[in-house]
Amino acid sequence: MIIGVAKEIKNNENRVALTPAGAEMLRQAGHTVLVEQNAGLGSGFSDESYLKAGAQIICDKKQLFDSAEMIMKVKEPLAPEYELFHEGQILFTYLHLAPEPELTKALLEKKVIGIAYETIEGPHHSLPLLTPMSEVAGRMSVQVGAQFLEKPFGGKGVLLGGVPGVEPAQVVIVGGGIVGTNAAKMALGLGARVTILDLSADRLRQLDDLFNGQVTTVMSNSYNIAQWVKKADLLVGAVLLPGARAPKLVSDDMVKTMEPGSVIVDVAIDQGGSVETIDRVTTHSDPTYTKYGVVHYAVANMPGAVARTSTFALTNATLGYALQIANKGWKQAVQHDAGLAKGINVLDGKLTYKAVADALKIAYTPLEQLL
């Protein structure tokens, strides 16, 4: 198979979908790997390192897209990329289609085979290609939250851990999955008080065990969320209903009860965001805005800022799937791996992921009907 690795164009997106090691493994399996010029630079990989691994460097983005049977990316395509796809081309990347009607329309019109990292399933409904970036973003949420709590960054001037004689800050995390757990680890490590709300009583039990009672676990409902949002110095949005638009769990009225200079980091923004006062996606170059005196951070590609760590973590998880798709062809690969099949969101002009179809009010076609 001819595989094209595109350079990312999103604001401060420094990750790349394939490392030189991955290029070498695909080459050894008999595939042709085309890498867009400078695609790896933001993660510390030179064009020479890809050439040494047996890849070819392509200077022209259009030529790369025209030649490749499978395009590997990190982030969802942006408008200037929509035109570059061709019918039957495989796109292997994060897609997050539920909040993206224009992108979805473009991929359907182009009849692209869109395999979304974030909906591929592993054992027990785990999300193996989302997990590594959720680990990164969960950890970062506390790092960036701590910074924006500082006065020069618009915050109330509170140190997460406090100091002897001065109480620590209160971190409230809505959603106790991978992002939530990693945020809690960092916040506890810095000495903050931590509360996690989740819908699943089993998950709350696991968190209580995992943190040995050091975090407060609370059942998620609108009453409890309102109580805890009011107390939060740092609020982290970390919910997910796979594929679907994130539920707006934190209302406008709840945010109004927060103290001025408190901070919200809504990690779930890539699925549309879980906080009502977040009405726009922010970027690494302009990461925050203030509403009702509260600092809002809503960057949809947080791991792009720590690209070297993130690229290794992401490609550790994606490469095996890329090899399956390239070696067997997409159809056989999904027929052999039901978890990989869950990644197919669009195929042959049809929407094949139910939660996305429901969010966008587009007809849903079960994948099995198209195989």
Mark the binding-site residues for NAD(+), compressed into ranges: 134, 198, 203, 220, 239-240, 267-270, 280, 299-302
Interaction between residue 178 and ligand NAI (CB under 6 A): yes
Nearer to ligand NAI by C-beta: 43 or 220?
220
Question: Which residue has the CB atom at the shortest distance from ligand PYR?
Answer: 133
Out of 270, 318, 337, 340, the only residue in the binding site for ligand PYR (CB under 6 A) is: 270
Out of 174, 188, 317, 340, the only residue in the binding site for ligand NAI (CB under 6 A) is: 174
For helices 131-148 and 307-328, give the axis angle rounded to 10 degrees: 160
Out of 5, 133, 239, 240, the only residue in the binding site for ligand PYR (CB under 6 A) is: 133
Interaction between residue 116 and ligand NAI (CB under 6 A): no
Q: Distance between CA atoms of 365 and 371, rounded to whole angstroms?
A: 11
Contact partner at residue 178 from ligand PYR, ligand NAI, none, CB < 5 to 8 Å by partner kind: ligand NAI
Taking alpha carbons only, the member of 73, 60, 101, 68 closest to residue 17 is 73
Q: Distance between CA atoms of 86 and 42, rounded to whole angstroms?
A: 27
Measured distance between the N- and C-terminal CA atoms of the chain, rounded to whole angstroms: 20
Q: 10 Å Cβ neighbour count for 72? A: 27
State the nearest-atom distance from the C-beta of 17 to ligand NAI, in Å.
Answer: 15
Order of strands, sheet of 56-58, starting from the edge strand that comes earlier in the sequence: 56-58, 32-36, 2-5, 70-72, 90-93, 113-116, 344-347, 350-351
DSSP 325: H
Interaction between residue 99 and ligand PYR (CB under 6 A): no
Q: Distance between CA atoms of 148 and 64, rounded to whole angstroms?
A: 40
Interaction between residue 119 and ligand PYR (CB under 6 A): no
State the nearest-atom distance from the C-beta of 51 to ligand NAI, in Å.
Answer: 31
Q: Which amino acid is at 258?
A: M
Catalogue the active-site residues.
96, 270
Interaction between residue 74 and ligand NAI (CB under 6 A): no
Contact partner at residue 57 from ligand NAI, ligand PYR, none, CB < 5 to 8 Å by partner kind: none
- Alpha carbon distances (Å) from 196 to 154, 181, 187: 25, 9, 11
Could you tell me where the DSSP H helices lie in the chain? 20-28, 47-52, 61-67, 79-82, 101-109, 131-148, 178-189, 201-210, 222-231, 252-256, 307-328, 330-336, 338-341, 354-360
Out of 45, 50, 92, 94, the only residue in the binding site for ligand PYR (CB under 6 A) is: 94
Out of 43, 93, 274, 301, the only residue in the binding site for ligand PYR (CB under 6 A) is: 301
Q: Tally the C-alpha atoms within 13 A of residue 78's C-alpha that lie toward its C-beta.
A: 10
Name which of residues 197 to 256 contact ligand NAI (CB under 6 A): 197-200, 203, 220, 238-241, 246-247, 249
Q: Distance between CA atoms of 194 and 217, rounded to whole angstroms?
A: 9
Interaction between residue 118 and ligand NAI (CB under 6 A): yes
Nearer to ligand NAI by C-beta: 197 or 333?
197
Contact residues toward ligand NAI (CB under 6 A) are 118, 130, 133-134, 137, 174-180, 197-200, 203, 220, 238-241, 246-247, 249, 267-271, 300-303
Contact residues toward ligand PYR (CB under 6 A) are 75, 94, 118, 130, 133, 270, 301, 303
